[in-house]
């Protein structure tokens, strides 16, 4: 009878050990799957972030080009206006400014 109980206890311990080992294998497999999914998701997010960054850079370049073109256009307009000023007009402006600056 004692032998039967001891055999049964040993059998139950073996079953518990087997169950523990099976659970360890399942846990390792699950962990590997989670690692793989996380790595895949991270790679996908990196691609999305890079695409977003590239688009933002391209948009900023286009905006800068447009702004620079507008500055050049405005400068050309002002240069054309200044080019049309006569010497007499320029002398008048200079004299007026000098009179303002020099004590009277």
The pLDDT score that the predictor gives to residue 104 is 62
> pTM of this prediction?
0.57
Residue with tokens 């390792």: 28
pLDDT at position 84: 93
Q: How many whole angstroms separate alpha carbon 47 and alpha carbon 40?
A: 11
Residue in the structure block whose two tokens are 């020099």: 102
pLDDT digits (tens, 9 = 90+) for 36-67: 999 999 999 999 999 999 999 999 999 999 99
Report the mean per-residue pLDDT for the chain. 94
Residue spans of the domains in the chain: they are 2-101
CA-derived radius of gyration, the chain = 42
DSSP one-letter code for 102? S
Please name the residue ranges forming H helices in the chain.
2-83, 87-101
């Amino acid at each position: 009878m004692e032998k039967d109980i001891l055999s049964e206890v040993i059998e139950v311990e073996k079953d518990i050990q087997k169950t523990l080992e099976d659970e360890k294998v399942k846990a390792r497999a699950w962990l590997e799957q989670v690692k793989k999914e996380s790595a895949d998701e991270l790679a996908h997010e990196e691609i999305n972030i890079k695409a977003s960054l590239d688009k933002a850079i391209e948009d900023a370049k286009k905006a800068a080009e447009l702004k620079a073109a507008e500055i050049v256009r405005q400068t050309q307009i002002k240069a054309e206006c200044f080019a049309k000023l006569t010497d007499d007009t320029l002398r008048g402006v200079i004299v007026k400014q000098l009179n303002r600056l020099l004590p009277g």
